[in-house]
Amino acid sequence: MALFNFRSKSAAPSPAGGGTLEAFLKGYSIEVMPRTAEKIEDFRALLPEGTRVYIAHIEGTPIEDMVATAQRIGAQGFAVMPHFPARIIKDKATLTDWVARYKDVGVSQGLILAGGVAQPVGDFATSMQLLESGAFEGFTRLHVAGHPEGNKDIDPDGSDRMVMEAARWKTAFAERTDAQMAMATQFCFDAGPVIQWVDRLQAEGIALPVHIGVAGPAKLQTLIKFAIACGVGPSLKVLQKRALDVTKLLLPYEPTDFLTELAAHKATKPGFGIEQVHFFPLGGIKTNAEWVTANGGASGKPARAA
């Protein structure tokens, strides 16, 4: 951001949800960590050209590992977006150093977020402080976090007052800069509340496009573990209900129903605020990518890879 400044369609089976789901998946993004990315020899064998690949920065991960992962994936032709978690960044000098290292390997995008650490290690506690720092001059795109089901770390009282206030601030920030921005969300499992939340954002003038977080195919037990750890809210009940169904307990979860419902809503209301799908490959990157391909998601390049 200059911040201030497969087979033929006739022969192939129709993907679940048909063309509506295929269109909704077009331009999807996916999240990796250095240790999971190491298991993939060549991302070009799995992902459409130009796919945006987020790189999660977990506390304790050396910046050298993050940058090396970004360099390797970027060299394979993908748009790399590393995380910048405010609460694990010591000071502006550290932030400036990280940005410079990423720029040196061709990175110009970042996901700016507070991070899941309870106590900041240094000067930064919020994504807004990072954005205000001026450190991202020269980046072409910045994404921020979204919380369709609220966030008890931000709003301990169970409301979403502070979350919504922050979203308004980020919209205003986007409007006063030339940053290309979007809101990438935590993963959810229930389409109804997501639709209500996105509609509410638009009604309140929060104009950031939404990249909806989706848990990729995985064992049910794995998803429940991650959902609890990540603070997933009411839609966790979808998994809990599934766990009570003996016929489904041992079957891998797939996000087909969730995404098909969102895709159908988007098809009937093109102005609906979800712009893209963002996958958390909790059951593995290869498994996730193969599911997306089977459902039509490999049919086209991202709408906006810049």
Consecutive H or E run containing 8: none
| Token code pair at residue 218 | 């995985």
12 lies in a domain? no
Q: Are 184 and 111 in contact (CB under 8 A)?
A: yes
Q: Is residue 4 part of a domain?
A: no
302 inside domain: no
pLDDT at site 16: 45
Q: Which residues of 113-140 are buried (b: 16+ CB within 10 A; e: fewer)?
A: bbbeeeebbeebbbbbbbbebebbeebb
Give the model's confidence band at 31: pLDDT under 50 very low, under 70 low, under 90 confident, else very high. very high
Q: What is the CATH number of the domain that holds 181?
A: 3.20.20.220
**Position 40 pLDDT exceeds 50:** yes
Q: Is residue 184 part of a domain?
A: yes
Tokens describing residue 293:
């391909």
The answer to whether residue 299 is domain-embedded is no
Task: Specify the number of domains making up the chain.
Answer: 1
Give a yes or no: residue 2 inside a domain: no
Whether 77 is in a domain gets the answer yes
* pLDDT > 70: percent of the chain: 79
pTM of the entire structure?
Answer: 0.85
Q: What is the pLDDT of residue 153?
A: 62
**Rounded to the nearest 5 degrees, what angle is found at the Cα of 51, between the Cα atoms of 126 and 192?**
65
pLDDT band at 298 (very low <50, low <70, confident <90, very high): confident
**Higher pLDDT residue, 273 or 7?**
273
Task: Answer with the residue of higher pLDDT: 302 or 56.
Answer: 56
In a domain, 306, yes or no: no
Q: How confident is the model at residue 140 (pLDDT cuts 50, 70, 90)?
A: very high
Domain that holds residue 156: 18-294
CA distance 84 to 56: 8
Q: Provide DSSP, 175-235.
A: HHS--EEEEEEEEES-HHHHHHHHHHHHHTT--PPEEEEEEPSB-HHHHHHHHHHTT--TT
